[in-house]
Chains A and B, each alone.
Chain A
Amino acid sequence: MEACLDFIRDHLVNTETKVIQATGGGAYKFKDLIEEKLRLKVDKEDVMTCLIKGCNFVLKNIPHEAFMYQKDSDPEFRFQTNHPNIFPYLLVNIGSGVSIVKVETEDRFEWIGGSSIGGGTFWGLGALLTKTKKFDELLQLASKGRHANVDMLVQDIYGGAHQTLGLSGNLIASSFGKSATADREFSKEDMAKSLLHMISNDIGQLACLYARLHGLDRVYFGGFFIRGHPVTMRTITYSINFFSKGEVQALFLRHEGYLGAIGAFLKGAEQDSPNQYSWGENYAASSGLMSTSPELCPTQRARSGTFDLLEMDRLERPLVNLPLLLDPSSYVPDTVDLTDDALARQYWLTCFEEALDGVVKRAVASQPESVDAAERAEKFRQKYWSKLQTLRHQPFAYGTLTVRSLLDTREHCLNEFNFPDPYSKVKQKENGLALKCFQSVTRSLDSLGWEERQLALVKGLLAGNVFDWGAKAVSDVLESDPQFGFEEAKRKLQERPWLVDSYTKWLQRLKGPPHKCALIFADNSGIDIILGVFPFVRELLFRGTEVILACNSGPALNDVTYSESLIVAEHIAAMDPIICSALREDRLLLVQTGSSSPCLDLSRLDKGLAVLVRERGADLVVIEGMGRAIHTNYHASLCCESLKLAVVKNAWLAERLGGQLFSVIFKYEAPAE
C-alpha cells in the first residue's frame, strides 16, 4: 500500500488536486496514511455507492461487459450485448463477505441482504485447512481437487439406490461430511475443492432466494472472489442453475474488480456533470480477460492477476440508441462472432497480421516531419501484433471477438502511439481530386432519363465504395495506380443481378412518394463521399427528401470525418445550387456519429444525431460500406426502410457469401406492414 502511494505521489498528483476519492473498508483504515503521503484530503466514498456506480457505468459503457459462463462449451464465455434497460438487477458482490444489492435506477439501490460466507471464508478457512497462504494458490489447489473425497454425497447416504429414486447421486448432501473422522488424512486439493464448492453453492443459493423474493432474473456477480477464475464462475453458475431451476441467470463482469474504483472516480468527477459524456473502452491500453485454463498458463495468470489494466476513453458526447432500431434489446451490431466461428477467426487474425506492415508504412509516411515516427510505428506494430497473438489464444479477452473489435483495436493502438490520423494527407488529396470531377459527374447524371439515372446513382454509390484503403485488395491497386478512376471502378463492379440484389424493389419504391427524411451513414473520403454519396443525396433532395448525413466524429482509416464532411459540403455547395440551398435551408444536415470506428454500432450513436432523427421523422436509413453494412448491421432490423450497400472487397468474405471479389450487396428492406 505504501509503495502504491509513493507511486501515485511521484507520478500522478498535480498541485491543483486537493481531494482524492477513496472507497472500500481500507479507505477508513488507510485514510491517515494517504493524507500524509499524498498531502491530499481523502474523501471517503461509500463502498456500495461506488460499486453500484461502477457497475452501472460498465454495463452502460462497455460493449460485451457482462457474460455468462458455460462449462464445456466453446467458447466458455457468452457475452451479452449492452442492454438498453439494465434496471432492475441484482448485484452480488463477493468480497471477504457477500453483499446482495438490488439496483433499481441509476441512483436508487437497496442492500437487501448478505452473507458472511464469502471470499474471506475461502481464503481464511482455506489457509487453515491447507496451510496455503495465497488466494490464487488456493484456487489452483481447488482446481486439481476432488470434492467427493471430502463431501458426503447423496450416493454416500443412499448407496446405489439414488438412481432408482431419481436422485442425482453426485449432489452434495453434507459439505465436509466425510471429514468427520479423526483417523483419515485429506489432501489439500480435495479440501480446497470442497471448500470452493461449499462457498460457491451457498452464495448461489442465497442469490437465488433473494432474486426470487424480489422477482429478479438477472444476477451480476462481482468482487475479488470471482476475478475471472473459471472454477469459481463454473461452480457459481452451476449453483444458480441448480437452485433456480434455470430461471435465474448468473452473469459475470469483465471488469468486476474495478467497479468500486470506477465508482469513486465518477463520484469525484460528479462536479463535472458526468451525464454529458459517454465512455468507451480503450482496447489498446486495457488488459484482457485472463485465460480460462489456469492449468495451461499459470504464469500468465499470476502476472495479469496482479496488474490488470482498464483504460476508458471519455467520449465528448453521450451515446444513445438509434431510435429507429426495431428492437434495441436484441440488436447485435456484429454479423459474425469470431469467438464462435473458429475458421473466420483464423482468417481475420491472419488478414490483420498481413495488413500490419502496410499500416505501419502508412503511419510512418503520414508524419514525414517527425523524427521518431518510425520508432513509434514500430512500437505500434509490436503492440498490435501482441494483441493479435493474445486474441489467437484468448479470443474472448475483450468480449466477443469481431472484425469490428479487431479494427477498433488497431485504431486504439495507432492512437496510443500518436498516429491519430495516418490517412489525413491521402484523404485531403483524394478529396481534392474528386471535387474536380463532381460537376462533370452530376452533369452526365442529369442528362440521363429518370430510370437510368437511378441505376447510375446506385452504381456510383457502389463504385465510390471500392475506394477503401482498409481493404487490402484495393489499397494494393491504389498504391500502384493512383489514376485508378471512378469509371474504371464502375467497370470492376459485378453486373446485375448482384450477389444480393433488391434493386428492382428499390426502384419500385422510388416511383412512389418521396421519403420524408433519409439518414445516410457515409464511409470513405474522396471519390466515395464526393462522387458517390453527394450525387445520391442531391437526387433525394431533388425528390423532396430531407437528408441527414452522418460521418464519424474521429478518424478511422480513410473514412470521412465529420469535420472533413463540412469542408467537402462547403466546396460542393459552391458548385451546386441544390446542395447549396438545402444546406442553407437545413434540408441537408451534417452530423457526427459519435464514433471513430470503421464499423457502426447503432446502439451507440451521438445523442444529437438521435434527436435529429426523431425530430425530422427519418424514414429511410442508408448504410454503405463493408465495415458498416456487412461486418456490422447486415442483419440489423430497423423499424423504417433501409438500404445496405457495399462492395465485397475481400475474396475470402465474398466466397463465404457465395460470390467473388467485388461482388455487390444491395439490400433494400422495408418493415413488414
Chain B
Amino acid sequence: MGAGRLGAPMERQGRDAATSAAAGESVSVDAEARRREPLRRRASSAVPPGSGAAEGVRRERPGSLSGTASAARPRGEGLRKRRPLFPWFGLDIGGTLVKLVYFEPKDITAEEEKEEVESLKSIRKYLTSNVAYGSTGIRDVHLELKDLTLCGRKGNLHFIRFPTHDMPAFIQMGKDKNFSSLHTVFCATGGGSYKFEQDFLTIGDLQLRKLDELDCLIKGILYIDSVGFNGRSQCYYFENPADSEKCQKLPFDLKNPYPLLLVNIGSGVSILAVYSKDNYKRVTGTSLGGGTFFGLCCLLTGCSTFEEALEMASRGDSTKVDKLVRDIYGGDYERFGLPGWAVASSFGNMMSKEKREAASKEDLARATLITITNNIGSIARMCALNENINQVVFVGNFLRVNTIAMRLLAYALDYWSKGQLKALFSEHEGYFGAVGALLELLKIP
C-alpha cells in the first residue's frame, strides 16, 4: 500500500509530502466517517416512503451531481488533506474484460495546470480525447457521468474497457507514459489484480492496491445509483418484457435497496445477498455466464466478438434449436402447469441430424443466449426464494447492449415467481467494481 496517496494535498505534488503521521490521521477520519455513514442511512430509511421529508434527506452520499454537492460535503481543508494525487483511476480486471474508470477533473485552476506534470497531462489528454484505444480499448462515451463532484473536485467520470488479454499492452503503456513517476497507486479489483500484480510491479514499476471484488462491486453500485445518470435514473426495469410492441424500459427508484439480490454476470456469475452496505454474503455462483455464451458462440458460429454474437442472436430463432414443451406434449403440460412455449430441452432439437442441418448460425447463437440467460434467471430466482429477497438487480457486462437477455430475465423472473420477483438493471452494468475501486482510492466509504 503506497503511503504517498494518503494525506498529500493534490495541489502540491511533492514526493515527500506523505508522512506516516498523515496516514494515521487519515485512517481515523476515515473510520469516523464509516461510523457515521450507516447511521445516517438508517435514519433516512426510517422515514416513511412518500413523505416529503424523505426526498430531501434521502441517501446523501459523498459525491453527487454538482447542484447538491456543496451541501453534502463542503470542500474543506481536512478533505483536501485526504485527497490522493491525480490521476484517479479505478480498475477491475476480470476474466474477460478490464474495466477502467477515470476521473477527469474539470476544475483545474491555471496554477494547477502550470504545476501539472507532463505525464499526467498526457494521460488526461489521451484518455479524454479518444473514444478508442489501440484496436480493442473502448470508451463508453454514453456512460460518461458529467459534472460529478468527487472529494471536492468537479469533473467527468469516464468508463473504459478492453480485453483482459491486452493487459500486457496496458502495462506497457503505463511504463511508456511513465506512470510510475506520478507516484500514484492503482486501486484494482477482480482476479486479475492478483494475476497481474507482479507484472505491474516489474514491468511498469507500479504498485497495485488489491481490493476485494465484492466489496468494490457493492460500493460501486450503491454509489453510482446515488449519483444517478446525468439527471436520469440509474436503475431501471422492463414493463411487458415479453411483448416487443408494448415493452418499455422504465426508471426504477431504488429507494429501499435492502435486502437486495445482486447478480453479477461477467465471464461467470456471482450472486450476492445484500442486507446493508456492509452486510452482504455471496450466496452462490455459476460457471454458466457471459464467457459461456461468448465461448460457445465462437465455437458454434465462428464469430469473433461479443457484439457479433449478440447481433447474430438477434436475428436467430431459438425454437429451431431448442425442444419446447409443446414439441413433446403437443401443447401445455397441464399436469405441472408448464406452458407449451417453455423450453423443455435446450439444444434438444440438435439431437436430430435433420434439425442440425436446418439450424442456422443465427439460430444457434440465439439458443445459446436463451439457454444461458434462462439458467441464470432460474438460479437467481431460487436464490431469491431461499434468501427471501424479492428485488433482484442484474449487473455485469454480459448485459451490455443485450436487451434480449435483459428482457428475458425480466420476463422469466416475473413469470416463474408469479409476479413476486422484480428484475432490475443498472445503466453502468459492468463498471461497478471499477467504480468501487476508485472510491477506495478516494477513501469514500
B194 within 8 A of A: yes
Q: How far is the CA of A128 from the CA of B368 in the complex (A)?
A: 12
Partner of B350, one of A115, A124, A152, A181: A124
B195 at the A/B interface (Cβ < 8 Å)? Answer: yes
A46 touching B197 by the CB < 8 A rule?
Answer: no
Interface string of A111-144 (1 = CB under 8 A from B): 1011111111101110111000100000000000
- In whole Å, how far is B102's beta carbon from the nearest beta carbon of chain A? 23
Chain A interface main SS type? helix
Interface residue B64 (Cβ < 8 Å from any Cβ of A): no
Asked whether, in the complex, the Cβ of A182 is within 8 Å of the Cβ of B298, the reply is yes
Contacts of A116 in B (CB 8 A): 322, 342-346, 348, 371, 374-375
A202 to B292: give the CA distance in the assembly, Å.
Answer: 13
The answer to whether B345 touches A165, judged by C-beta atoms less than 8 angstroms apart, is no
B196 touches A118 (CB 8 A): no
With A124-B350, A205-B284: A213-B294 Cβ-Cβ less than 8 Å:
no
Residues of B close to A181: CB separation below 8 A: 298, 304
Please, which residues of chain A bring their CB within 8 A of the CB of B336?
Answer: 48, 99, 111
Given A182-B304, A205-B286: A96 touches B295 (CB 8 Å cut-off): no
Q: Which of B29-37, B122-130, B377-385, B424-432 contacts the other chain? A: B377-385
Distance from B207 Cβ to chain A, minimum over Cβ atoms (Å): 16
Which residues of the other chain, B, contact A125 by a CB distance below 8 angstroms?
Answer: 296, 346-347, 350
Interchain CA distance A355-B289 in the complex, whole Å: 61
Bound CA span A165–B191, Å: 11
Contact of B344 among A97, A123, A129 (CB under 8 A): A97
Decide if A158 touches B291 in the complex (CB within 8 Å): no
Q: Contact between A206 and B379 (Cβ–Cβ < 8 Å)?
A: yes
Interface hits, A140-198 → B, CB 8 Å: 150-152, 154, 156-159, 161-162, 165, 171-182, 186, 191, 198
> Number of A interface residues, CB 8 Å?
61
Asked if A129 and B345 sit within 8 Å, CB to CB, the answer is no
Which chain B residues border A171 with CB–CB below 8 Å?
Answer: 287
Q: Which of B72-80, B149-157, B177-185, B327-335 contacts A (4 or more CB under 8 A)?
A: B327-335
Map CB proximity to B onto A211-234 as digits: 1 under 8 Å, 0 otherwise. Answer: 011000000000000000000000
- Closest-by-CB residue of B relative to A182 is B304
For A174, the chain B residues whose CB sits under 8 A away are 95-96, 266-268, 287, 289-292, 295
Contacts of B343 in A (CB 8 A): 97, 116
- Which of A178, A179, A180, A209 lies at the interface centre, i.e. has the most chain B CB atoms within 10 A of its CB? A180
Asked if B299 is at the interface of the complex by the 8 Å CB criterion, the answer is: yes
Q: Do A129 and B299 form a contact, CB below 8 Å, given A46-B335, A116-B345, A180-B291?
A: yes
282-313 of chain B: CB within 8 A of chain A: 284, 286-292, 294-296, 298-300, 302-304
A152 and B267 contact, CB distance less than 8 A:
yes
How many Å from the CB of B170 to the closest CB on chain A?
16
On whether the beta carbons of B386 and A212 are closer than 8 Å, the reply is yes
**Binary contact readout B66-107 vs A (1 if CB under 8 angstroms, 0 otherwise):** 000000000000000000000000000011100000000000
A128 touches B329 (CB 8 A): no
What 1/0 mask marks residues of chain A from 382 to 418 whose CB sits below 8 Å from any chain B CB?
Answer: 0000000000000000000000000000000000000
CB of A7 within 8 Å of the partner chain: no
Do B344 and A177 touch (CB < 8 A)? no
Give the residue name and chain of the B residue nearest to A209 (CB).
B382
Bound together, the chains give a CA A118 to CA B344 distance in angstroms of 9
Q: List residues of chain A with CB within 8 A of the CB of B350.
A: 123-125, 127-128
Complex CA–CA separation, A191 to B292 (angstroms): 12
Interface membership of B119, Cβ < 8 A: no
Q: Give the contacts of B333-374 with A (CB-CB under 8 A).
A: 335-338, 342-351, 353, 356, 364, 371, 374
Q: Are A121 and B346 in contact (CB under 8 A)?
A: yes
B351:A176 contact, CB within 8 angstroms = no
For the complex, what is the distance from the CA of A125 to the CA of B299, rounded to whole Å? 11
Contact A179 B345 (CB under 8 A): no
Given contacts A129-B299, A180-B295, contact A121 B94 (CB under 8 A): no
A368 at the interface (CB under 8 A from B): no
Contact present for B194 and A121 (CB under 8 Å): no
Residues 233-255 of chain B, each 1 if its beta carbon lies under 8 Å from chain A, else 0 = 00000000000000000000000
Within 8 A of A (CB), among B188-211: 190-192, 194-197
Q: Do A173 and B284 touch (CB < 8 A)?
A: no
CB 8 Å contact bits of B105-149 with A (1 = contact, 0 = none): 000000000000000000000000000000000000000000000
Task: Return the chain A residue nearest B305 by Cβ.
Answer: A182
Q: A residues touching B (Cβ–Cβ < 8 Å)? A: 25, 28, 46, 48-49, 95-97, 99, 111, 113-121, 123-125, 127-129, 133, 150-152, 154, 156-159, 161-162, 165, 171-182, 186, 191, 198, 201-202, 205-206, 209-210, 212-213, 243
Provide 21 A-B residue pairs closer than 8 Å at the C-beta atoms, listed in order of the A residue: A28-B330, A96-B345, A96-B348, A97-B348, A111-B336, A111-B338, A120-B351, A121-B347, A157-B95, A158-B192, A174-B287, A175-B291, A176-B292, A177-B287, A177-B292, A177-B295, A179-B299, A180-B294, A180-B295, A201-B286, A243-B284
Closest 9 CB pairs of A and B: A124-B350, A159-B195, A174-B291, A176-B295, A157-B191, A120-B345, A161-B194, A120-B348, A177-B291
Given contacts A96-B344, A116-B344, A206-B378, 18 further A-B contacts (CB under 8 A): A48-B336, A97-B344, A111-B336, A115-B375, A119-B345, A120-B351, A121-B346, A124-B321, A125-B350, A133-B353, A157-B192, A157-B195, A174-B290, A174-B291, A177-B95, A180-B96, A181-B304, A206-B379
